[in-house]
Amino acid sequence: MLNVAVIGFGTVGSGVCELLTNNADIIEKNAGEKINLKYICDIREFPDSPFADKMVKDFEIIANDPTVDVVVETMGGRGAAYKFTTMALEKGKSVVTSNKEIVAYCGVELMQKAEANGARYLFEASTGGAIPALTPIAQCLSANRISRIAGILNGTTNYILTNMFTHGKSYDTALSEAQAKGYAEKDPTADVEGFDTCRKICILGAIMSDCLVCPDDVKVTGISKITRKDVEAAESFGCKIKLLGVAEMCGEKLSLEVSPYCIADNVPLYGIEDVFNGIMVDTDAAGTVMFYGRGAGKLPTASAVVSDIIDIAARKGAKSQFAPWKDGKDMLAKDEREFAYLMRVGGDVADFEKKFNICAHITEENVVAFVTDKFNAEEYNSFCKILEERGYSVISSYKVFA
Amino acid sequence: MLNVAVIGFGTVGSGVCELLTNNADIIEKNAGEKINLKYICDIREFPDSPFADKMVKDFEIIANDPTVDVVVETMGGRGAAYKFTTMALEKGKSVVTSNKEIVAYCGVELMQKAEANGARYLFEASTGGAIPALTPIAQCLSANRISRIAGILNGTTNYILTNMFTHGKSYDTALSEAQAKGYAEKDPTADVEGFDTCRKICILGAIMSDCLVCPDDVKVTGISKITRKDVEAAESFGCKIKLLGVAEMCGEKLSLEVSPYCIADNVPLYGIEDVFNGIMVDTDAAGTVMFYGRGAGKLPTASAVVSDIIDIAARKGAKSQFAPWKDGKDMLAKDEREFAYLMRVGGDVADFEKKFNICAHITEENVVAFVTDKFNAEEYNSFCKILEERGYSVISSYKVFA
C-alpha cells in the first residue's frame, strides 16, 4: 500500500481525491498496490466534503507521519508550496505536483533534493495538463536528439484566438466570452500575456536540454495586441495566429521564446483549436511527433498527477525518466535563427508589390499585408528601417512558424 | 554495459544499428549505461556493411552467449522470428520487436514466457512506428478508464486517401504513385485491404483491455473499393474518408473493427495526412488525447525500438508498464453500437429529400449522397431494405466516426 497526502484542496487537489476514489480499482491494478489517500491538507474548512475525515490543517502532521510515501502538491505558487515540498523531500517522501511555477523556478533544486533523499519529484501535470508529454518525450524519444519543442500550451489563449478566427470576434469580445465560460480568470494577465506558457516552455526546454532557464530571462509576447485585422491578414495567406512557446537548440545553447506565431496549415499545430493544447517535438530519428489533448481542467490535470503516483509505485528502484537538470542561466542563445514574417504595413500601398517584388494583399485602405523572405534579426531590422525610410509604418509583424 | 543482438538486418534492423551507433552518447546518458551492439544475425552476406565484423548467421551463437542481454527481433513474420524469440526468452534474454504480426498473433504467449523467465518483451515499434503510443497509454493514462482507441495506423493507405482527396486522384493512380514513391509494396494487399491496420488495432485493443483478440477474428474492410465519387460525396458534407482501426469497450466486451470511416473536421484525426499516423484515445478523466507522428520508416521505427532497449536498461527491477494479456477469444462484442452513415444511393432522385426527410446532395445524374440518422446494425439493415423496396440501390456506405 502506498499512502498519499494531498496538499491544497482546490480544483486540481479535489480532482486528484475524486479520481483516486472513483478509479481505485484500475489505479491499484496499474500501480501493483493499493493507493491510499491518507490526508488532505488545506487551511480552509470542508465540513461537507466526502473527504472531511481526511482533512488536516497542519502540514507537520503529514511531514512527521513516516507512513506517508507521496505528497501531492496542488497548492500553486512558491510560498507554502516550496516550504512543504522541501520538508517532504527532506523526509524522503516523493512529491508529485501540478504547479508549473514552482517547477519552472525551483525545479533544479527540488530535483536535487529528491535525488539526495532517495525520493522522486514528478510533475507531468505541470505542462500540458492531461497530455502525456514530459514522460513520453524523456522516455520514448530517448534515442533521439531533440532539436525543437514547440507548443500551444495555454488553453485560455488558444480558445480566444480560435474564437477570433472561427467566429470573427474581436480580442475583447473573445476574452469576455472566455471569462464568462470560466476559461479565463478575472485577471487574465498570466494567460494572455504569455507568462503561463513561458513557465511551461521552460520546463519543456529543460526536458530537452537538461538545463532549466529561469522564466524571467525569457522574452515573452502575449496575445493582447492581436487585432481582427491581423487575423484577417493571416487568413488571407491561409494561416492562423497561435500563441506558441518554442524551445530550440542552437548548437550547445538553447533558444526560448513565447510569442504569437503565424502558422500555415501544413504544420500539425495548425489544427489545435479551442482549449486544447498541442506539443510538437522535432527529432533526428523519429522525425516530428505531436501530443494533443486537454491542457487544463480538474480531472484532466488529476489524470496526470495520479499517473505520476502510479509511476512511483510501479517503478520502485528504477532510474528516473528525467536526467538531473542544471541551472540554465548561461544557456540562453543569442537568437540568430531566421524567420519569414507576416507583416501589416501602412502607407502609400499603390505599387507596393512592384516596389518590393513581393506578393502583398491590400487588406484595407492604405494597408498591405505580406509575408517576407527569411530574415535573421539583423536583416529584419534593416528591412523595417527601409520600410520606414520609404514612408511606411509597420502596424504589426508576426514570425512565421516553419 | 548492456549487450544487444539484432536479428534481421533489413530496413528496421539496419536502422537500429545505425541509431545505436550515431546517437550512442545520448543513448548511454538516458540508459544509464553503455548499449553495446554485439551481434547482427542474418542469413544474407553484408561484406560492405560498416557492421560486417558483428555479423553471424547462426542464432545459436547469440542464444548461447550469456553476455547478450537483449535480442532485437526485426525479422518479421512468425516463422524463424517466433523460434528465435522463444529461444531468447527461455534463456532469460529480453526481446524487443518491431514485428506487429508476431505480437498480434503470439503476444499472450510471448509475454508470459518473458515473465516466467524474468525477461521483458517490448514492442513499442510494432504500432505507430515512431509515435510514443503503447507506453504512454499504459503508463501516463494509467489512472483512466479507456473507452476507445481509434487510429490511422497505416501510412500507405493514408497517403493514398490524402492523394485522392487533396489532388483529386483516382484510387488506382494514387496507389501507383504510392508504389513509385516506395510507400506501397508491389503487392499492396496487406496495407490496402486493412490487414496491417488490423494487427495494430488488436495490439492497441490489448493495451486497453488486457485481452488480445486474434486478428483473424476481426472484421476488416480495406480502401480498394473507395471511388472518387465517394470522396466527393464526403467532401460535400465537409468530411474526409480515412481508414481507421477502432477498438471500443462495449461493457466488459471489446469491439474491434477496421474500416474506412467518414470523418468530420472536428475530429482530431481529420488533420492526419500523407504517411503520418494518429492514435486517438478516449478516457474518462483525461478526456481525448491524441498521439501523432511517423508510423513507419527506417529511423522512425528504429527510434521506438531503441527507446525500448533504453527502457530495459533504465527500468531494471521495475514492474512492466503492461499488464499481462489474456487470450481474447471470448472477448469480442456483438456490435450494437450506433452510427450515422454517409450513403450514396442510385435511383429516381427527384424529391428524395422530401420523401426521406433528409438533406441529400445530388452528386451526379440519378445519384444522391446523404448522411443518415444514427442507426444500430438492425436499424441500418431495415433502412437499406426500405431503400431497395422503393427502387433505390445503395452504391456505397461509410460509417461516420463520432
**Residues A129-176 pLDDT 10s:** 999 999 999 999 999 999 999 999 999 999 999 999 999 999 999 999
pTM recorded for the entire structure = 0.96
Q: If pLDDT is split at 50, 70 and 90, which confidence band does B336 have?
A: confident
Give the residue-averaged pLDDT of B46-51. Answer: 95
A180: contact with B, CB 8 A cutoff: no
C-alpha cell at B100: 506487429
- The reply to whether ipTM tops 0.90 is yes
> Whose CA is closest to A267, among A248, A256, A282?
A282
The pLDDT of residue A318 is above 90: no
A166: contact with B, CB 8 A cutoff: no
Which residues share a beta bridge with B293?
B277
Catalytic option among B38, B100, B200, B242? B200
Q: What are the tens digits of pLDDT across the range B107-124? A: 999 999 999 999 999 999
C-alpha cell at A71: 505528497
The pLDDT of residue A123 is above 90: yes
User: What is the pLDDT, as a whole number, of residue A273?
Assistant: 95
Nearest by CB to A286, which of B287, B303, B316?
Answer: B303
- Residue A162 phi/psi, 5-degree rounding, is -60, -40
Q: If pLDDT is split at 50, 70 and 90, which confidence band does A204 have?
A: very high
CB A37 within 8 A of CB A316: no
User: What is the pLDDT, as a whole number, of residue B319?
Assistant: 77
Work out whether strand B55-56 and strand A146-152 pair parallel, antiparallel, or are unpaired.
unpaired
A31: contact with B, CB 8 A cutoff: yes
Mutate: best of A2, A18, A319, A321, partner B, most B CBs <10 A = A319
Nearest by CB to B292, which of A124, A292, A314?
Answer: A292
Q: If pLDDT is split at 50, 70 and 90, which confidence band does A224 have?
A: very high
Q: What are the tens digits of pLDDT across the range A280-309? A: 999 999 999 999 999 999 999 999 999 999
CA distance B177 to B162: 12
The angle subtended at Cα B331 by Cα B157 and Cα A313, nearest 5°, is 90
Q: If pLDDT is split at 50, 70 and 90, which confidence band does A240 have?
A: very high
In chain A, residues 74-93 whose CB comes closer than 8 Å to chain B = none
C-alpha cell at A346: 501602412
Q: With beta carbons under 8 A apart, name residues in chain A contacting B315.
A: 315, 318-319
Q: What are the tens digits of pLDDT across the range B51-98? A: 999 999 999 999 999 999 999 999 999 999 999 999 999 999 999 999
Nearest by CB to B141, which of A303, A314, A319?
Answer: A303
Active-site annotation holds for A200: yes
Question: Hey, what amino acid is at A29?
Answer: K
Q: Length of chain B, please? A: 402
The pLDDT of residue B318 is above 90: no
User: What is the pLDDT, as a whole number, of residue A119?
Assistant: 96
